[in-house]
């Protein structure tokens, strides 16, 4: 309700003020945590060092790399927090990358430790293919498993389509080229595959509630660190109870932090006016 009221009030502002407010709410800004980034073009690829983590990015992923490493302040802070998390994890730490997109976070995790491993879940066939290609380009495909599937709160098949940007979304009547995509709970996936994540990164555009409800046993058993994007506007529109999502994590022993390391209280999450909150959650030792 508080975000709906804020959106209604914003419509009364002048256009320039609305644009500035939207950038702040969605976390698109130039300011933010500074990553030490160098980039050297070599042929048809870009060779990055991101806080001394070496990654090679093809032209097809160049825009995504610039966004996360250079252009957007909130995304730089998120990547910096993720690198700290990855480096602090155990030697053979497994990353469960939920909503892997093109695999950039998994690539950084694998490059941060020679024995690090990653399991990538991406429901879009084109994006899953790009993830595999990115990992192969960097010589880290042997330590990763890319699966074209989604995570949710039930094991099922879901009819989905790929939009013009390559993202998978639920099909609606009249959609052409819809395909059945497997959806798995994180609990079943981890238990049947015998994988126990040290880190879970979740970026699922408003499906965070269903993903976390399907991960209750894994959170209690493994206590993984979470790199989490809460899409508050989308959750609200889907009828999700944001306070219930936060309380589930609190009940599992999690504390919340901003990507710059500042402690965030429950009321600051549930009453936030932001459309997207990028945050870290870790369990109390």
With beta carbons less than 8 A apart as the criterion, state whether 177 and 161 touch. yes
With a cut of 70, say whether residue 73 has pLDDT above it: yes
pLDDT tens for each residue of 206-256: 999 999 999 999 999 999 999 999 999 999 999 999 999 999 999 999 999
Residue 26, both tokens: 């969605």
Residue carrying structure tokens 């995570």: 151
With a cut of 90, say whether residue 272 has pLDDT above it: no
- The residue-averaged pLDDT of 200-207 equals 96
Confidence class of residue 18 from pLDDT cuts 50, 70 and 90?
very low
DSSP E strand stretches across the chain: 37-42, 45-50, 53-58, 94-98, 117-121, 144-147, 150-151, 156-162, 168-170, 179-184, 199-202, 225-231, 254-258, 263-264, 276-283
Task: Say what the pLDDT of residue 285 is.
Answer: 67
Report which of residues 109 and 269 the model is more confident about. Answer: 109
Edge-to-edge strands, sheet with 168-170: 150-151, 179-184, 156-162, 168-170
Sequence-ordered list of residues with C-beta below 8 angstroms from that of 221, at least 6 positions apart, any chain: 196
User: Please, what is the average pLDDT of the chain?
Assistant: 90
Residue 76, both tokens: 């730089």
Sequence-ordered list of residues with C-beta below 8 angstroms from that of 89, at least 6 positions apart, any chain: 113, 116, 198, 199, 225
Confidence class of residue 13 from pLDDT cuts 50, 70 and 90?
low
CA gap 210, 41 in Å, rounded: 40
User: What is the domain partition of the chain in residue ranges?
Assistant: 71-283
Task: Say what the pLDDT of residue 198 is.
Answer: 98
CA gap 111, 137 in Å, rounded: 12
Sequence-ordered list of residues with C-beta below 8 angstroms from that of 181, at least 6 positions apart, any chain: 123, 148, 149, 150, 157, 158, 159, 160, 168
CA gap 207, 204 in Å, rounded: 5
The radius of gyration of the chain's CA atoms, rounded to the nearest angstrom, is: 19
With a cut of 80, say whether residue 172 has pLDDT above it: yes
Task: Say what the pLDDT of residue 26 is.
Answer: 58
Task: Say what the pLDDT of residue 21 is.
Answer: 43
Task: Say what the pLDDT of residue 279 is.
Answer: 94
Edge-to-edge strands, sheet with 45-50: 37-42, 45-50, 53-58
Instruction: Give me the phi and psi of 190, to 5 degrees please.
Output: -70, -40
With a cut of 70, say whether residue 25 has pLDDT above it: no
Burial code of 97-118, b = ≥16 C-beta within 10 A, e = fewer? Answer: bbbbbbbbbbbbbbbbbeebbb
pLDDT tens for each residue of 112-163: 999 999 999 999 999 999 999 999 999 999 999 999 999 999 999 999 999 9
The percent of residues above 90 in pLDDT, for the chain, comes to 76
CA gap 94, 258 in Å, rounded: 23
Residue 96, both tokens: 């469960």
Q: What is the DSSP string of 121-189?
A: E-S-HHHHHHHHHHHHHTT-GGGEEEE--EE-SS-EEEEEEE-TTS-EEE--TT-SS-EEEEEE-HHHH
Domain 71-283: give its CATH code: 3.40.50.150
């Amino acid at each position: 309700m508080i975000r709906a009221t804020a959106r209604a009030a914003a419509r009364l502002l002048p256009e320039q003020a609305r644009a500035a407010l939207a950038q702040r709410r969605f976390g698109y800004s130039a300011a933010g945590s500074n990553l030490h980034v160098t980039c050297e073009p070599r042929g048809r690829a870009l060779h990055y060092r991101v806080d001394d983590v070496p990654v090679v990015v093809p032209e097809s992923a160049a825009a995504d790399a610039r966004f996360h490493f250079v252009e957007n302040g909130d995304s730089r802070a998120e990547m910096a927090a993720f690198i700290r998390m990855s480096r602090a994890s155990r030697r053979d730490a497994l990353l469960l990358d939920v909503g892997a997109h093109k695999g950039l976070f998994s690539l950084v995790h694998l490059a941060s430790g020679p024995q690090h491993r990653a399991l990538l879940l991406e429901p879009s066939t084109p994006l899953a293919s790009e993830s595999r290609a990115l990992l192969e380009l960097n010589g880290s495909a042997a330590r990763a498993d890319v699966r074209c599937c989604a995570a949710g709160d039930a094991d099922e098949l879901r009819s989905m389509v790929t939009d013009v940007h390559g993202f998978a979304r639920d099909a609606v009547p009249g959609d052409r080229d819809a395909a059945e995509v497997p959806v798995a709970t994180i609990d079943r996936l981890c238990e049947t595959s015998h994988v126990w994540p040290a880190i879970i990164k979740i970026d699922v555009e408003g499906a965070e509630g269903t993903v976390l409800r399907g991960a209750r046993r894994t959170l209690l058993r493994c206590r993984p660190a979470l790199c989490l994007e809460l899409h508050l506007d989308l959750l609200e529109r889907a009828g999700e109870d944001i306070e219930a999502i936060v309380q589930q994590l609190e009940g599992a022993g999690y504390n919340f932090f901003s990507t710059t390391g500042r402690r965030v209280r429950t009321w600051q999450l549930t009453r936030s006016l932001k459309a997207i909150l990028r945050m870290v959650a870790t369990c109390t030792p």
